[in-house]
Amino acid sequence: AEYMGRRLAENAQQRRLKGKKKDAEAKKVEADQRALALMTAEETATQPHWARRHVACGLFRLLVGATLSSTYTPPEHEFGSRRARFEMRFEPLWYVFAPGFLSYDSFMSSCGLSGGEAPDPALIFQAAVDSFQAAQKAAAAAVKAAKTPTERDEMRAILRVAVSNGVTAATLLKGDAKAAVIDSTCFDMSKHPALAIVTVRSTATISTVAAAAAAPASS
């Protein structure tokens, strides 16, 4: 009888311990679910920000790669060149006696931008593709979670911009960038007021159109 009593007490103790363990596990699962829901809500709320950021970064990388591959030549306006912007921005510092003012040429040299081997445009185009893919993912999630029609329309516009520019970046990455041209007619602002859809023109097509325009009209 004494032995059976000890066994019953031990079994009861084990059941209590198992019950406490299950309760602890259930509380942990509940806490993890609350944390996941909070994290999901926070990530959902920041998706519009990341969509804008990734598509802007992709556009910058696309144009940098196009510039390095001579596909795109940035326009040189009166105050649009890098030297002019540098000098206008830091002109007040010319009057500082010490330390001496850093000239534009010295700045370019110190940054390693005045010479040496240029980066491979393919690496820049691949980075642009990655940015546009990230923008597509963020914008698609933001469209589903949008709380207002205005936000939904903007995210849809960003999604279209990211998809179109992703195709352009992938085309320049896989094809011959030197056989393509990006000029002022290749920037479409109809989908989003601040983010352009960039397209490319074939140099062969441009040459054909130019030749046709220069040819005398047949009588």
Cα 3 from Cα 165, distance rounded (Å):
80
Residue pair 123/56 in contact (Cβ under 8 Å)? The answer is: no
Q: How many CB atoms lie within 10 A of CB 102?
A: 12
Cα 53 from Cα 20, distance rounded (Å):
48
Q: What is the 3-state secondary structure (H, E, C) of 60-71?
A: HHHHHHHHHCCC
- What are the C-alpha distances in Å from 218 to residues 54, 205, 213, 214, 215? 51, 21, 12, 12, 9
How high is the pLDDT of residue 210?
41
Residue 200 φ/ψ, nearest 5 degrees = -120, 150
Q: How far apart are the first and last CA of the chain?
A: 124
As a whole number, mean pLDDT of residues 105-112 equals 72
pLDDT tens for 19-71 read 767 777 777 767 666 654 554 566 667 889 999 999 999 999 999 899 888 88
> What residue has token string 């110190």?
110
Cα 12 from Cα 18, distance rounded (Å):
10
How high is the pLDDT of residue 211?
43
pLDDT tens for 148-201 read 999 999 999 999 999 999 999 999 998 765 678 888 889 999 999 999 999 998
Average pLDDT along the chain: 79
DSSP summary character for residue 72? B
Which pTM does this prediction carry?
Answer: 0.63
Cα 92 from Cα 151, distance rounded (Å):
42
Cα 182 from Cα 206, distance rounded (Å):
11
Between 171 and 9, where is the model more confident? Answer: 171
| pLDDT-based confidence at residue 88 (cuts at 50, 70, 90) | confident
